[in-house]
Chains A and B, each alone.
Chain A
């Protein structure tokens, strides 16, 4: 029931907005109010779900199961485990903050909120679906609103027009999705066949039920052959190096609320898909291939970080930094152990909140300065002490300062990686755990460098006379989203067990985990 509320609140809001008129400012205020109301409902329901999560109880809780197209085995199945609860909470927090940040949109407000709510319905749908069909359905559904949101309300990203940026993003994401689809269908047929053989399904019956498909036995050959297809499809959206080039441009071109949602949540869909399908359904494939992923994600961490150092546009800095941080997530996943994977999921959560905060703050000053190039900025902290302080907090969190969720999660990933080794399938070689660990630690140093430099150049130093009249976030409704995000970031950073226990409970029950080396758990 709760999962239904989380999913349907924005969907209903989206539908109702169609019938609202946008004639004057009072109407616009009403539209913003309705949108905010619907995502607040999701926020409350998702927090309730989180608090009510029964660690050690049923694997999937808040289950909804409605038969939809029975002859194909499609059912409208929703439910949450520890991993998806973290992701749902992340989404609802980010969209809630995003709704407040979008108040700066003045043109075609109604369309903006309709698309924003459609997008978030899709994202919630992915995280809540226990049905492979609806998983894909919602995944694809999230892509198109993004295209219009960036194309209509976005801004130029360095030398790229917003139209170019949004088309590139859409095509990359769709390419990933359709290739994953072929893999998903192969899993559906193979899994249903295995379930029929095991007597769990009637002869000739098929199912898209992730719970059942996750229990089916697949041959090792099948898993090894199809894991790369599924993985690469989702890796496009993570984004894994070298498939990442759409992502920083997309971040930079998007309006702030969409950047928040994009970097905060959308990129996590890929990693979540890898966990839900790659890991749970094709465990042997995951174990077989993840060594290569560990190598590639070192490229993410180092290359993303180094490119971020060279950027002067604030959104590009955060954009490349995101792709660098998603490298840590992939590194955590590639350990295929409780600690590393839990760390990865926790980092997805922490990075989502942190990066949403970053884009919200950048949006705040960009609306007034119309430039994000750090060289043009400078000394802004005098004009906007509140936003500046929040930005410094964000930079500290992102650089991995203890006390923030990012530190705790990156620590889990790095320790997890240290204790594992990564066999490279097909070569007979194995990468010892310390190699990616060193890359990861260097990544932290690099990220501290570019973040501190950005803070120094944009916020401190001699103040630029151009920015005399900048306005700080003074009103309560302007500060609320930033305060909310920082609160979540510090609470989960200081008391990581509040969310790590939930995540760990979900991770422990993923299929490839029990066979991973026991010492990874300690």
Chain B
């Protein structure tokens, strides 16, 4: 664990270098170079992370750099690939959208690139200081991105709401870290695991309070109830590519960090695996959070007339499902979360790609303006339908298998609490199917309005995004074998890390 081992952080170095280069290029007013650096940075960093995974990691190994403050294992690699893929999709999607904006092309890509750096970094952090830095890097970029359309009052409102509540959450997180430092005398996350047994005891209130505050800070990122209030407004107000990035990248980063903290709370990982999760007394709280989150999100989404707002609520619901996976506190549960996020990547980005295209033609996000899309643009309607059905969890799509793994992990846990949570989740599936189908109904069963635009043109990069997302949803839903193995590898690495 000792030694600097600087080469290990190659993906981050690449990204950081590209951020600086793009910054310089933007200062010179060379927007074209910013675009190139952004593409190169994300592509090279993703490739580097993938190659590191292939070449330097055997099953179950974990490599360290910066004297143990930075770790690389299968968990980190899988998530770096997820984040790299997200950023690539966002860059491809934003080209179409930026062409409709007259300024700030360089800043947009630069901020996206910096947020990606933060996400990559978040996968590898090993102590609370780095956790905070990586999280802030991501969040601050998103503050700016959310308010990117500075002439649009709703975008600015979104930015301000996000800043105020995000700042509050950061304060909670920081306070929590301070408590933990006071209780354990160390900033390292694994120091927490040495005290895991105390978490259930009455005497260790400092420690318990610290963990609670850290979880509050992270729950804000993943938009779990009761820290979800910002989500629909920000989703609606921010520009569509930003919303897409927020709903996938930012949320997944929150889950990466949450998984790491939750793992540490379970105590030193014996090689045999996790200790008996029944000994974890704060589990009821996680179950409560998961249940309320998924009910709030899904019930709230039922009344929405704006598609982006609907997806904002539904993303709260999806955070609830992923929390169910965390509730399971088992390798299977963590693997289910990883798989869920993999499927979510293709699903939610495909949906947002359609939203960007339709919005370009109609200047509207109202669900009513999607009427008759099935007749006007059959391909877009198809991708949107498949995406929404995958979000709802319908086979043979990736979203279904993600949910299936989550339910499997929860039922595996057994006990009244787990079964009740599973039934609440099942009710959530039905509710979510209702509002997703209400959108699908618009697409196919309603006739287009008189002033609806004819066929919407799809530029080449968007076409690539749409086809990749479509293929990704089906592959993850049908040929799940290798991806399950990947997710399990990541979960195993997470569980084994100490």
Chain A interface residues toward B at CB < 8 A: 67-72, 74, 111, 133, 136-138, 140-141, 143-144, 147-148, 151-152, 162-163, 167, 170-171, 174-175, 178-179, 181-182, 185-186, 188-189
Contact A148 B444 (CB under 8 A): yes
Q: Which 3 A-B pairs have the closest CB atoms?
A: A178-B426, A185-B411, A69-B481
A162 to B485, CA, bound (A): 43
Within the complex, the shortest CB–CB distance from B374 to chain A, in Å, comes to 8
Partner of B430, one of A74, A133, A174: A174
Q: Which residues of B contact A188 (CB under 8 A)?
A: 408
A71 to B438, CA, bound (A): 37
Contact B394 A69 (CB under 8 A): no
Closest chain B residue, CB of each to CB of A143: B394
Contact B426 A182 (CB under 8 A): yes
Q: Which residues of A contact B374 (CB under 8 A)?
A: 111
* Residue B441 is within 8 A (CB to CB) of chain A in the complex: yes
Task: Give the B interface residue count (CB, 8 A).
Answer: 32
Contact A140 B426 (CB under 8 A): no
A171 to B257, CA, bound (A): 36
Within the complex, the shortest CB–CB distance from B55 to chain A, in Å, comes to 24
* Residue B40 is within 8 A (CB to CB) of chain A in the complex: no
Q: Which residues of A contact B389 (CB under 8 A)?
A: 144
Contact A178 B430 (CB under 8 A): yes
Contact A186 B441 (CB under 8 A): no
A148 to B394, CA, bound (A): 14
* Residue B73 is within 8 A (CB to CB) of chain A in the complex: no
Give residues 411-448 of B contacting A (CB, 8 Å): 411-412, 414, 419, 422-423, 426, 429-430, 433-434, 437-438, 440-441, 444-445
Contact A69 B480 (CB under 8 A): yes
Q: Which residues of B contact A171 (CB under 8 A)?
A: 430, 433-434
Partner of B407, one of A68, A143, A181: A181
- With known contacts A152-B444, A179-B426, A141–B395 Cβ distance under 8 A: yes
Within the complex, the shortest CB–CB distance from B226 to chain A, in Å, comes to 26
Partner of A185, one of B400, B408, B434: B408
Q: Mark B189-221, 1 if CB is under 8 A from A, else 0.
A: 000000000000000000000000000000000
Within the complex, the shortest CB–CB distance from A183 to chain B, in Å, comes to 9
Q: Which residues of A contact B407 (CB under 8 A)?
A: 181-182, 185
Within the complex, the shortest CB–CB distance from A385 to chain B, in Å, comes to 37
A179 to B408, CA, bound (A): 13
Within the complex, the shortest CB–CB distance from B382 to chain A, in Å, comes to 9
Q: Mark B382-421, 1 if CB is under 8 A from A, else 0.
A: 0000000100001110001000110110011010000100
Q: Which residues of B contact A181 (CB under 8 A)?
A: 404, 407, 426
Q: Which residues of B contact A70 (CB under 8 A)?
A: 481
- With known contacts A163-B441, A174-B430, A71–B485 Cβ distance under 8 A: yes
Within the complex, the shortest CB–CB distance from A207 to chain B, in Å, comes to 13
Q: Which residues of B contact A186 (CB under 8 A)?
A: 411
A399 to B445, CA, bound (A): 37
Contact B395 A147 (CB under 8 A): no
Closest chain A residue, CB of each to CB of B481: A69
Closest chain B residue, CB of each to CB of A161: B445
* Residue B488 is within 8 A (CB to CB) of chain A in the complex: yes
A171 to B427, CA, bound (A): 10
Q: Which residues of A contact B394 (CB under 8 A)?
A: 140-141, 143-144
Within the complex, the shortest CB–CB distance from B91 to chain A, in Å, comes to 29
- With known contacts A72-B408, A185-B408, A174–B440 Cβ distance under 8 A: no
Q: Which residues of B contact A162 (CB under 8 A)?
A: 445
Closest chain A residue, CB of each to CB of B394: A144
A179 to B420, CA, bound (A): 11
Q: Which residues of A contact B433 (CB under 8 A)?
A: 170-171, 174
* Residue B274 is within 8 A (CB to CB) of chain A in the complex: no
Q: Which residues of A contact B412 (CB under 8 A)?
A: 185, 189
Contact B485 A140 (CB under 8 A): no
* Residue B175 is within 8 A (CB to CB) of chain A in the complex: no
Q: Which residues of A contact B444 (CB under 8 A)?
A: 148, 151-152
Partner of A189, one of B411, B445, B481, B485: B411
Indicate the member of A74, A163, A170, A185 with the most B CB atoms within 10 Å.
A185
Contact A147 B411 (CB under 8 A): no
Q: Which residues of A contact B395 (CB under 8 A)?
A: 136-138, 140-141
Contact A147 B437 (CB under 8 A): yes
* Residue B484 is within 8 A (CB to CB) of chain A in the complex: yes
Indicate the member of B395, B422, B480 with the most A CB atoms within 10 Å.
B395
Within the complex, the shortest CB–CB distance from A247 to chain B, in Å, comes to 17
Contact A68 B481 (CB under 8 A): yes
Within the complex, the shortest CB–CB distance from A372 to chain B, in Å, comes to 21
A320 to B395, CA, bound (A): 30
Q: Could you list some 14 contacts between A and B, CB below 8 A?
A: A71-B488, A72-B408, A74-B480, A137-B395, A137-B396, A140-B394, A144-B389, A167-B438, A167-B441, A170-B433, A178-B430, A179-B426, A182-B423, A185-B411
Q: Which residues of B contact A151 (CB under 8 A)?
A: 441, 444-445
Q: Which residues of B contact A141 (CB under 8 A)?
A: 394-396
Within the complex, the shortest CB–CB distance from B321 to chain A, in Å, comes to 12
Q: Mark B479-491, 1 if CB is under 8 A from A, else 0.
A: 0110011001000
Contact B445 A174 (CB under 8 A): no
Closest chain B residue, CB of each to CB of A147: B437
Q: Which residues of B contact A163 (CB under 8 A)?
A: 441, 445
- With known contacts A71-B488, A152-B445, A178–B437 Cβ distance under 8 A: no
Within the complex, the shortest CB–CB distance from B483 to chain A, in Å, comes to 9
A71-B485, A133-B404 known; 13 other A-B pairs, CB under 8 Å? A68-B480, A70-B481, A138-B395, A140-B400, A141-B394, A141-B395, A152-B445, A167-B434, A167-B437, A174-B433, A181-B426, A185-B408, A186-B411
Give residues 442-458 of B contacting A (CB, 8 Å): 444-445
Q: Which residues of A contact B404 (CB under 8 A)?
A: 133, 136, 181
Closest chain A residue, CB of each to CB of B413: A189
Q: Which residues of B contact A111 (CB under 8 A)?
A: 374
Closest chain B residue, CB of each to CB of A179: B426
Within the complex, the shortest CB–CB distance from B442 to chain A, in Å, comes to 10
A189 to B414, CA, bound (A): 10
Contact B440 A148 (CB under 8 A): yes
Within the complex, the shortest CB–CB distance from B428 to chain A, in Å, comes to 9
Q: Which residues of B contact A72 (CB under 8 A)?
A: 405, 408, 484
Give residues 462-490 of B contacting A (CB, 8 Å): 480-481, 484-485, 488
